[in-house]
Chains A and B, each alone.
Chain A
Amino acid sequence: MAFRPQTTLLCWLSLLLALCLQVMPLPDVWLIWRPQWLGLMLVYWCIVSPQSVGVVHGFAFGLALDVLQGAPLGHNALVLSLTAFMGVLLYQRIRAYSLLQQAFLVIVVLGIAQLVDQWLRSIFGAGPVDLSFLLSAVIGGALWPWLYTLLQMLRRRLTA
């Protein structure tokens, strides 16, 4: 299913918004609580339309995130393309699930992405690895039902 122009616009705007939210300055203590906005948004669009949004989107936005965050180039690109990849792999399953089940699966997907992120960190520089990085995945999962409903509504209204 190809996108209508409005939906394409919504897709890009929402991904850009997610990128902004991802790099929005926060107090140091709250940083660990920041959900993976870009990951969430990518998973959503991969589920809605795996034909038009996929791994390459993840790569491009990941690269932008790398530059914005000052991470090694390719770090977030890899993590986010992996997230999108999982989204595209699982889209049939996720579509069939209820919102709650979807949320749990999203936690798993984001958690795996975070795990890879931590591996890359420990390969490319000293970073303390503890389990607190999974918090953002859990919060992402908790946000999923709202995000999903909101975006579905927006999309329907735009295409109606």
Chain B
Amino acid sequence: MGGSAIKPLFTRGPVPGYRMLLCAVLSFALMFAEDRFSWMVDVRASMATLVSPVQWVVSLPTEGLSWGALVFADQQELADENRALREQLLNLSSRVQRMASLSTENARLRKLLNAGQRSDVPYITSQLLTLDADPFSHRMVVDRGEQDGVRIGLPVLDAYGLVGQVISTSAYNSRVLMISDASHAVPVEVNRNGLRFIAQGSGKIDQVNVLHVPDTADIRVGDLLVTSGLALRFPRGLPVARVTEVYHDPGKPFARVSAEPVAQLERSRNFLIQMPPEIDAANLYVGDSLDELPRDNIAAPKDAEATSAEAATEAQAAADAAGENN
């Protein structure tokens, strides 16, 4: 050993400590900057445009599979699908005909009431590109980006209901946070009676939790929850979820209510991204909704947990008082 002809057993490698330190500092700086500075959105968007080829490559196998399924589908299957779609088209167009007369009637009535006009909301269609490969969050990438007018915060729908909202964009695609993600919350109201709550994602794809529901609140299994429009982010009246469980725990101040998203979060591939309407948002969303319902029903304002809890207990106390008076 030790002779110059023999390759040394332990070659001297580089000292990676400083580089590691540098990278760690850089990483934390990036994380901090993204949390604090809004210009990081642009940085991220340009980087996303840089890596979008990878996204495209990654979506190829799925596209190939669906192409293959189309090519090798037998004719009977296609004919069946075609017939089903025709039936659906007939069904829907008859409903649209009814809608037309109803919407003019609605517009007339709203004019009578001096309420603001509701206009059709413009939208663009988009296709699923990839689902985020992170088992701990529910996000997906769709194939529309800033070039198509997509902006952060726009609501995303499928054929059945609300899917989520755009949280970041690049030039050609954008990322959507689904309503079932644990970090997503959406203000909703019960379609039947207008009770307002917050629906927060649970981290499970088929469940959202309705927060701060007083035990006395009139909410039942099967109730449809629609967006209330109070966050000024989603327009009013988009179907969000259907209540699947209402559990009253005598030891807890609030009932535990869970609901199943009506959008097919796992299955849909085509989505609508709703564009911001031209009319002043404050007029459109809130102006006509607050005075329609008795104050007692307001259970959870979109605020910090503590305040919503207080409001809800107040609401509960008010409801109790009303009960005693009767």
| Chain A interface (Cβ < 8 Å from any Cβ of B) | 16, 19-20, 22-26, 28, 31-32, 34, 50-51, 54-56, 58-59, 62-64, 67-75, 77-78, 81-82, 84-85, 88-89, 91-92, 121, 124-128
State the CA gap A69–B132 with chains docked (Å): 6
Question: A78 touches which one: B27, B61, B134 (CB < 8 A)?
Answer: B27
Question: B29 touches which one: A24, A74, A75, A126 (CB < 8 A)?
Answer: A74
Q: Is B58 an interface residue (CB 8 A)?
A: yes
Chain B, 116-168, CB within 8 A of any chain A CB = 130-137, 139, 141, 167-168
Is the beta-carbon distance between B27 and A77 smaller than 8 angstroms?
yes
Is the beta-carbon distance between A59 and B23 smaller than 8 angstroms?
yes
Q: Is B70 an interface residue (CB 8 A)?
A: no
Chain A: which residue is nearest B13 at the CB level? A50
State the CA gap A75–B137 with chains docked (Å): 15
CB of B82, distance to nearest CB on chain A (Å) = 28
State the CA gap A92–B182 with chains docked (Å): 43
Question: B205 touches which one: A19, A28, A70 (CB < 8 A)?
Answer: A28
Is the beta-carbon distance between A26 and B58 smaller than 8 angstroms?
no
Is the beta-carbon distance between A68 and B55 smaller than 8 angstroms?
yes
Q: Is B203 an interface residue (CB 8 A)?
A: yes
State the CA gap A73–B205 with chains docked (Å): 25
Top 7 A-B pairs, shortest CB-CB distance: A74-B30, A31-B135, A78-B27, A74-B27, A81-B23, A55-B19, A74-B31
CB of B173, distance to nearest CB on chain A (Å) = 11
CB of A112, distance to nearest CB on chain B (Å) = 13
Given A28-B266, A56-B19, A68-B51, do A73 and B175 touch, yes or no (CB 8 Å)? Answer: no
Is the beta-carbon distance between A23 and B130 smaller than 8 angstroms?
yes
Is the beta-carbon distance between A32 and B135 smaller than 8 angstroms?
yes
A82 proximity list for chain B (CB < 8 A)? 20, 24
B168 proximity list for chain A (CB < 8 A)? 70
Chain A: which residue is nearest B133 at the CB level? A23
A50 proximity list for chain B (CB < 8 A)? 13-14, 16
Is the beta-carbon distance between B205 and A20 smaller than 8 angstroms?
no
B183 proximity list for chain A (CB < 8 A)? 125-126
Mask: chain B, 9-28; 1 = CB below 8 Å from A; 0 = not: 01101101001100110111
